[in-house]
Amino acid sequence: MTVYVGYARVSSQGQSLDIQRDKLKHCPKIFEEKKSGTTSDRPELKRCLEYVREGDTLVITKLDRLARSTLDLCNIADELQRKNVALQVIDQNINTNDATGRLLFNMLGAIAQFETEIRAERQADGISKALEKGVKFGRKYVLTPKDVEELKHAREAGETISSLMRKFRLSKSTVYRYLRKVPE
């Protein structure tokens, strides 16, 4: 008898898994996580892949919920095939139990990777154009130049980093960043 095992993922804590849960409600076991697909640290996916057994079907709602790249998708597909576990993708109507499903699965994976690369190229172009126009990225400086000098003098006088953190209400890395900052 086939056991259906679901996997649901959203990219951030603020997003809801409800739509995916509803589509996976026929699965007696569902692994869920709120992690970006671009990160390699997806503990629930790892647990899911360890959990599935020969004859099971891993069910997801969309391919992009499962893998972060075509290579990642192929590695997961190879692992599932090695374990004799089928993959069902609900929204794209893919089931790797047949040749047509396997072909469609590989084609959609390649297209998804292409879209990711195009998006990254557009983002890099946008950043480059913004830099050319003088746009400054990152958080604005919290301390005035006078505050920075006070911070540096306090450190030179032997004040601890943790004391400076409290006094100026800064994180440890920010204190060090200001200490390294060359006056303008």
The residues that are catalytic are: 11
Find out whether 37 and 10 touch, Cβ atoms under 8 Å.
no
- What angle in degrees, to the nearest 10, is found between the helix axes of 161-168 and 145-156? 150
Work out the burial of residue 115: count CB atoms within 10 Å of its CB; fewer than 13 is exposed, 13-18 middle, 19 or more buried: exposed
Place of tokens 């891993």: 58
Residue 131 makes CB contacts below 8 A (sequence gap 6+) with 137
Q: How are strands ordered across the β-sheet holding 29-34? A: 29-34, 4-10, 57-60, 86-89, 94-95
Q: Dihedral of CA 145/146/152/156: which sign?
A: positive
**Cα–Cα–Cα angle for 114, 110, 7, rounded to 5 degrees:** 105
